Structure 1
Amino acid sequence: MIAIIAILIGLLLPAVQKVREAGARAKCANNLKQIGLAIHGYHDANNKLPASQYGDYSDPTAFGGPHFNSQSWSFLAFILPYLEQQNVYTTGNIPTATIATSSATGQAIPTYLCPSDQMSQLRTFSELSRYSQVTTLVGLTNYKGVLGSNFNYGDYANANPAFLYNGDGFWGANGLFSLDVWKAPITIVAITDGTSNTFMVGEDIWTPNYANGQQPGNGFAWAHAVEATLTCAMPPNNLTHPNGTPIDTTSTNASEWGSYHGFKSKHIGGVQFVYADGSVHFVSNAVPLSTYRALASYKGGEVLVDAP
């Protein structure tokens, strides 16, 4: 009898896990849907998409520079009032307070956490990253804005000299959440590739060595401009170099970081994105890289082949 029960449990467990993950994926999709609606709500109120405030090393006067002792708030901070988080926004003095001193920074925002990933249990983290300089308690995010597809780092570098800084990928990027887009905010009508063909926000997963990393953009703080973005230069859920060797996710050196700085999820087979029209889609790991990159730009004029 005990053996039969053990066999039944063994048969049922995978089914239970599959049902549980299906529910978590649906909740994740709903989170992305709410983020998309909040972005559109912000646009309706301000006639522009939310743009992260960011001051680079080359322009430390802009918002006080890049670090947590500045006002380099992310676009996720600006949509809080449209996610029923007006109190966090107001009491945290966003966007005039510095990130390090704001009471908002350490708040966990449920809509920013995917139930399939470890971040949904951690919720907050005492972070010492390139952009915090000092240890700061931060609320975490699984959801990050799309910088675009141009990128100057790692195996999947996709530089474009037509863009600012030779298409750096952070500044002068071709997606909706480039870090310098505050200089020329984007409106919905400027998305000439079509809102149904343009990524807005996708997923990321907890990677411990990147939580305190020293490469640009490492970290998971929803409050900080750089940490709330990723690139589509490399394939979704990319875990290998082009030659097939695995990426060392325990390393934060530039060559590993550059190939791993893309969108990732715990959902089997792909990553979920909210598009500029507010719809949410599951994008397969097998999507052609050219199509994936095309979906990341908003006015590239690319022809989509085998779009998801």
Structure 2
Amino acid sequence: MASQHSSRFTLGFTLVELLVVISIIGVLVGLLLPAVQAAREAARRMSCSNNVKQIGLGLHNYHSTHHQLPIHGVGPTNENTNSTSLADKKDGSAFTRLELTYLVGLLPFIEQQALWEQMSEPMQESDGDIWPAFGPRPWNGNYPPWATEISTFRCPSDPGRGVPALGRTNYAACTGDGFYDAEHGVTVWNGSRWLYNRDPTAKKRARCGLRGAFVPRKSLKFRDFLDGLSNTIAVGEIMTGLGDRDKRSVGFSNAKGGFFKVANNPKRCFELGYIDVARPQFWTSSAKVYGAVSERGYRWADFHTLQSQFNTILAPNSEICLVGHSDTYGIAPASSRHQGGVHVLMADGAVKFITDSIEAGNSNSPCVYCRALSSGTNSVVPEGSKSPYGLWGALGTRASRESVSTDF
């Protein structure tokens, strides 16, 4: 009878044992989750590096085909007017105002031939909008190509998606260790016509202060890289805005004292005291920032500084400090959503990961500039000087004769 009675008992876990097992599983999940997240970010970072590599291959294939790099600040325009409102018209008479990025020219070389062919022909939409070849200026989101997301131009670690942006980009042209006059480059509107690399003042300003792989509205060749292709950054990462007042993705627009205040002290915006002490990656709530449609990387086809340029003045992931409105020039560092640094493309096609701690010289040193504004003032840092921004600045210049003898 005793044996029959004992056989009725079923084996199982006590409540305490179950709680212990659940606790152990919870601990294991807690330990495993960060490793999974880190593995995913490593995969995203590798994918981002591959995108940069594809852009590098595209640049070299473009140069092999056209014997120059794609121009940053290009496109069909109206030779009789520079009006922004006329450039946006939907009746087929719009024009680009020479505002298209180097990325537009790269399209056929990064397996985007279909989009290139769509842009290369006039377009009439079902709603009645009519667009010329290569469309209106790249602010206009009604033109379908400007609102197209191109995966090769996006870093998978950047979560930015959708409006108020158009098609975003995370890969910007390097204009060097200066910024004057990146808004116009060598080709300017003189009030009645375009002067294509013929205005002496514009040429002087660009030669003096725009020392990078790309000079807006100017044709450059690899032979112009006297510092060596392997020592010159061509393209770098930028993060796109999330509408969260991040100092790396949204511009600071409080009165800053004009061009000379920023050009003579790149840390001007930081020193004004509008960085949030509790969250040092963000502007304070009292800082006036650009509007919702004007954040970093919002328009892949727009050549202006905030959208698709960066300079090697302040170290990666430093604050943006433009001189005026969102389409003007200023301090525009590289940035990314990766931990600790950014990807850059060297002009020889190599992809490097540059850390935020790279040696960046004197951040309070004036930039190199010549004949600035109507006063024609020159910087105290002479034209042709080695970069005052250390190794980082030297990597941004194509022909300033700096020697790069350390690993980076």
TM-score range, shorter chain: 0.7 to 0.9
Counterpart residue number, 1:126: 164
Q: Secondary structure at the match of 1:271?
A: strand
Q: Secondary structure at the match of 2:109?
A: helix
For 1:206 and 1:40, the matched residues in 2 are separated by 26
Q: CA deviation at 1:304?
A: 2.3
Indicate which of 327, 344, 355 corresponds to 1:273.
344
Counterpart residue number, 2:114: 87
Q: Is the 8 A contact 1:142 1:220 kept in 2?
A: no
Q: CA deviation at 1:303?
A: 2.2
Paired AA for residue 150 in structure 2: I
Paired AA for residue 299 in structure 2: A
Indicate which of 142, 145, 148 corresponds to 1:104.
145
Normalized per residue, which structure has more helix?
A: 1
Q: Secondary structure at the match of 1:115?
A: coil
For 1:63 and 1:80, the matched residues in 2 are separated by 28
Q: 1:36 to 1:64 in 2, by over 3 A?
A: farther
Q: What is the correspondence of 1:1-308 to structure 2 with a 5 Å cutoff? A: 1-54=21-74, 61=79, 64=82, 69=88, 70-71=95-96, 72-93=99-120, 96-98=134-136, 99=138, 100=140, 102-119=143-160, 122=161, 124-127=162-165, 138-151=166-179, 164=202, 172-181=209-218, 185-209=219-243, 210=250, 213=290, 218-226=296-304, 227-239=307-319, 261-289=332-360, 290-304=390-404, 306-308=406-408
For 1:66 and 1:111, the matched residues in 2 are separated by 29
Q: Is the 8 A contact 2:69 2:221 kept in 1?
A: yes
Q: Is the 8 A contact 1:287 1:307 kept in 2?
A: no
For 2:134 and 2:144, the matched residues in 1 are separated by 12
Q: 1:285 to 1:60 in 2, by over 3 A?
A: farther
For 1:9 and 1:205, the matched residues in 2 are separated by 31
For 1:216 and 1:116, the matched residues in 2 are separated by 21
For 1:258 and 1:93, the matched residues in 2 are separated by 30
Q: Is the 8 A contact 2:45 2:338 kept in 1?
A: yes
For 1:186 and 1:264, the matched residues in 2 are separated by 25
Q: 1:219 to 1:35 in 2, by over 3 A?
A: closer
For 1:39 and 1:63, the matched residues in 2 are separated by 32
TM-score, length of structure 2 as denominator length: 0.58
Q: CA deviation at 1:168?
A: 7.7
For 1:19 and 1:51, the matched residues in 2 are separated by 38
Q: In the TM superposition, what whole-angstrom CA distance separates every residue of 1:145-176 from its partner, at most 9, and x where no partner exists?
A: 111111369xxxxxxxxx9588589x951112
For 2:405 and 2:84, the matched residues in 1 are separated by 38
Q: 1:283 to 1:167 in 2, by over 3 A?
A: farther
Bigger CA radius of gyration = 2
Q: CA deviation at 1:265?
A: 1.0
Which ranges of structure 1 fall in alignment gaps of 5 or more residues? 128-137, 154-162, 240-246
Q: CA deviation at 1:106?
A: 1.0
Q: 1:223 to 1:66 in 2, by over 3 A?
A: farther
For 2:172 and 2:290, the matched residues in 1 are separated by 17
For 1:164 and 1:292, the matched residues in 2 are separated by 26
RMSD over equivalenced CA pairs, Å: 3.5
Q: In the TM superposition, what whole-angstrom CA distance separates every residue of 1:85-140 from its partner, at most 9, and x where no partner exists?
A: 11111112386422335431111100011111113xx1x4334xxxxxxxxxx210
Which ranges of structure 2 fall in alignment gaps of 5 or more residues? 1-20, 89-94, 122-132, 182-200, 244-249, 252-288, 361-389
- More displaced, 212-221 or 39-48? 212-221
Q: What is the count of residue pairs matched by the alignment?
A: 269
Q: 1:284 to 1:232 in 2, by over 3 A?
A: same
For 2:172 and 2:135, the matched residues in 1 are separated by 22
For 2:231 and 2:338, the matched residues in 1 are separated by 22
Q: Secondary structure at the match of 1:40?
A: helix
For 2:158 and 2:330, the matched residues in 1 are separated by 21
TM-score, length of structure 1 as denominator length: 0.76
Q: CA deviation at 1:37?
A: 0.5
For 2:224 and 2:329, the matched residues in 1 are separated by 29
Paired AA for residue 78 in structure 1: G
